[in-house]
Amino acid sequence: MGPVGVRSAIAAGLIGFVGSLYLALVGLTERFADLELIGEQITLGRLLIVLPPLITGFVVSRPRVVAGERRVASLGQASAAGAFAGGVAGAVFGAAVAFAEWFGVDRIREVFITVSPTLIEFLTFEQGVAVGFVILTVLGLIAGGVGGALKAASSRVRRPIVVGASVTVLLGLLQRIIPVAMRQLDLDPSVLYLPSAGLTVPAAIVVFALAAGANVLWTRSGQQVRARFRATASEQPIVRTAVLLAILAIASTVPLLVGTVISEVLGTVMVFMLLGLGLNIVVGYAGLLDLGYVAFFAFGAYALALLTGATLNTTTGAAAPAFSLDLSFYLSVWIVAALAAGVGVLIGAPVLRLRGDYLAIVTLGLGEIVSILTQSRWLQPVVGGPQGMRGVTDAAIGDISFRPPQNFYYLALAFVMLAVFVSWRLSSSRVGRAWNAMREDEQIADAMGISTTKYKLLAFAMGGAIGAIGGALFAVKIGSLTPASFQILVSITALAVVVLGGLGSIPGVVVGALVLIGLPGLLREFEEYRQLIYGGTLVAIMVLRPQGLIPNVRRTRELHEEEVEQDAWARSAAQREEPYATVVVGDTVDEEERST
Amino acid sequence: MGRLERLPWRTIILVVLAVLILATIAIGAFRTLTEGAYSADAWRDFIILGLAQGAIYALVALGYTLVYGILRMINFAHGEVFMFGAFASYFFSAAYAESGFLDREPLLSLTILLVVAMATSAGVAMLLERVAYRPLRGAPRLVPLITAIGASLFLANTARGFFGSSPRGYRKPEVLEGSWTFLGGDVPKIRVVVLLTAALAVVALSLFVARTKTGRSMRAVAEDSEIASLMGVHVDGVIVTTFAIGGLLAGIAGVLYSMTFEQVNFFMGFQIGIAAFTAAVLGGIGSIAGAAIGGLSLGLLQALGPSLILTGYHIPSPFQLREAFTFLVLVLVLIFRPGGILGTGEAEKV
């Protein structure tokens, strides 16, 4: 196995086993057991059985430093090492399944509620533990071997395979959106998809081939295409405008194609995109970690409800709140945004001279105070307490109500575009550069004559205003408010959206919202694992790829500068240098995250 | 702005704010007391409840303080470390309750529960350090902080997946049911046990840090990790030890908390974590005595504050606002005295 020793392969195999065990115990494997991705055999659950040994095989064949010399495993060595490690992972997992069966599923179940006879059946492929053990071991061997081979293969081979596989799985996951859209376009979905399930096998092969082929082409000539596009775009601004218009056109036809249910999900995606854009200003641009963003969200929603004449829910019916106006949505939303900016300054002023982590805790606390207040009896006469409010305006223009999901999408799209525009203009303005300087080194920024207090407050105000608009739109979307919608999880979700895409990156926020809000929204199986996924995403991104999926260029440079400065960080990063350069590890990990 | 900046605006605003807050507290307390909403017995019960609750906060707060002292990072996921310890001991206590062992051998079974909880919490804390925090050593500040938030959510939901989302009832040994008569009133036994155990743990920790070689290395790393490593201290080892000790204390707290409130659930770590962090800041983060004092003060504030102050203003259900009160205390401490009770009173810059 070349540079990979037996002991380290066994250790890697055991870690792979822990991965499989975790997925099974936390309930993901069984939850997705029947989610067919490709054909009837390849389900997401089975993918989750294969993935840990695959990753084990991939990781174990990484180049190692032996006696000061960097040694790269050859293809054969890497596949052997990978297969060995994957086989260990599979075999130990199979043994664990057999042990569970022998020990008594019911007894284990008293502790781990997810261990059930169904799970055991699924893990043994309904063949009994002995055969199941063999199957799991063989699958582990194969997956690990493939992982090792992938790692050893040149990136020209690896990238198309990984991209092809990812796209195929993604299309499989989108089984509830693409067929609907195809039907709207008068296409027959059965070309691609089995009835109410994943891709057909031939379709999967075609998709894989197309995606892989596209990737090969892109690798070969993408650079030139991009360069040529940049050149033309800079000579003729009309090209850039055309591209923007095209994106806009696609964005605005989506709800017509996908129907009501998915438009509903898209509406939520838009609201969180707005929250992400707002938080991106605070965290990404100014570098202030705000964990109480839900405060602005709640403020926006409730303030809008009160300004537009919503009523309180009570046990006996509706009641007028202690304070209420009857303004139009289009006036109130700006009032709300302005008020929220003020609140941002008020919250920010006393705490801004504190260190970053204190700021995080204080904002977390303020966010919690707001969500406790929304459900308290004390403020019940104003915001309805636990029963909440109803009858929020539907922001109608003439006869067009914006409550129906497809219409709401357009309203939200308008505000998202506005927020994107503002963020984009801010990022390269004097203000944006001041934020950058402040984030990179506050004392130096101060010394250069930047009023850090002023710019911090400005970031808080801007972020607060955008977050409150998000809240206002949310109120319009659902029409009635209950405190359950305004919990700490909103803050963390918004943070995950920003972090996944990359701090300070606008396209990153868009992608983050689509992936983190859109995918779980489309697959209801994900619902109960949403928080687990968000938590896992935050950790995985920060440890593996702190600049995010679509990094902000300047921000990346900054992260790397600090790497050079701080050698411990640099050393650990250097070990991962190779996968970074090819982006493949990032992709597989994200794929894992997405599917877990 | 030039002219405005010469005026000490900040100081003026802070003084006005402080006067307003003190006035609010004084008026509220005065009105509550003159109206006689609660009897003397009720106040005594509040105080005992607050102290027992505070003792648990203190134990968890020590975990924050130790880690902060060494790594200068807030381990947000420490509340989940506590939760896992509580859950692990729950399974043993449930089994022992069923077999009758819990009531027959209360001392032995309590010891086992404590050991199980401490081992589990320490294990989770060490794993967390190894997987999530160690790769980030030396990374920009924001990075470990976001990781810690993610880890907290991830661990809480892992417990939800493993053990289910419904709360589970936690039995305590029969010996600890009921109360002792003490100072002319009834004091629930469990509260006394909680206070004594916590006090013992704090004393043991102080001795450990002050007297042992490992304790000395911990102090050295907290002072300056680079120089400590030049002096032959194994910094990574010390960091792991610190996480483990924090976990041990959190495990003890987990058992005590579960026995007091007689249930465990997957989200119990969050509130306790925040409260304990507040306690650590209140006392002065980085100091062991500070965590103990902060914990007890916060417990008392939580138990007395809402009833003493809010009742005076006739705010309905003041106890609903108890958590908000915690956060308010945190915010006010950070504004007025960021160094905490034992701290220097100076805001740490950068």
Name A216's Cβ contacts closer than 8 Å, sequence gap at least 6. Answer: A156, A160
Taking one residue from A and the other from B, the number of pairs with CB-CB distance under 8 angstroms is 174
pLDDT digits (tens, 9 = 90+) for B39-48: 777 778 888 8
pLDDT digits (tens, 9 = 90+) for B84-101: 999 999 999 888 888 888
Task: Please name the member of B149, B321, B323 whose beta carbon is closest to the beta carbon of A291.
Answer: B149
Chain A: residue nearest B275 by CA? Answer: A365
CB atoms within 10 A of CB A225: 12
Q: CA–CA separation, A438 vs A288, rounded Å? A: 10
- ipTM for the complex shown: 0.85
Contact residues, chain A, for B161 at CB < 8 Å? 25-28, 114, 529, 532
Amino acid identity, position A200: T
Q: CA–CA separation, A419 vs A281, rounded Å? A: 10
Here the tokens at position A493 are 């979700």
Q: CA–CA separation, A238 vs B121, rounded Å? A: 61
Task: Please name the member of B142, B157, B162 whose beta carbon is closest to the beta carbon of A287.
Answer: B142
- Which of A22, A378, A438, A498 is best to mutate for the B interface (most B CBs within 10 A)? A378
- Which of B153, B270, B320, B321 is best to mutate for the A interface (most A CBs within 10 A)? B153
Contact residues, chain B, for A490 at CB < 8 Å? none
Task: Please name the member of A375, A499, A535 whose beta carbon is closest to the beta carbon of B154.
Answer: A535
Name A413's Cβ contacts closer than 8 Å, sequence gap at least 6. Answer: A251, A252, A270
Average pLDDT across chain B, whole number = 84
pTM to 2 decimals?
0.86
Q: Which of A246-260, A545-559, B305-319, B336-350 has the lowest mean pLDDT?
A: B336-350
Q: CA–CA separation, A117 vs A131, rounded Å? A: 16
Residue A292's Cβ-side half-sphere holds a number of Cα atoms within 13 Å equal to 26
Stretch A565-593: mean pLDDT: 43
| pLDDT of A30 over the 70 cut | yes
Task: Please name the member of B135, B155, B347 whose beta carbon is closest to the beta carbon of A572.
Answer: B135
Question: Residue B331 — φ and ψ, nearest 5°?
Answer: -60, -45
Q: What is the pLDDT of residue B4?
A: 53
Q: What is the pLDDT of residue A110?
A: 84
Chain B: residue nearest A499 by CA? Answer: B146
Buried b (16+ CB within 10 A) or exposed e, A154-172: eeeebbbbbbbbbbbbbbb
Chain B: residue nearest A346 by CA? Answer: B13
Q: CA–CA separation, B143 vs A563, rounded Å? A: 13
Q: CA–CA separation, A538 vs A489, rounded Å? A: 13
From the CA of B315, how many Å to the nearest CA of chain A? 6
Name A552's Cβ contacts closer than 8 Å, sequence gap at least 6. Answer: A284, A502, A503, A504, A505, A508
Beta-carbon separation of A372 and B321 below 8 A:
yes
pLDDT digits (tens, 9 = 90+) for B290-334: 888 999 999 988 888 877 777 777 776 777 777 777 888 887 887
CA-nearest of A519, A533, A530 to A175 is A519
CA-nearest of B219, B201, B202, B221 to B210 is B219
Q: What is the pLDDT of residue A556?
A: 61
Q: What Cα–Cα distance (Å) separates residue B17 from each residue in B13, B59, B69, B321? A: 6, 32, 31, 21
Name A231's Cβ contacts closer than 8 Å, sequence gap at least 6. Answer: none
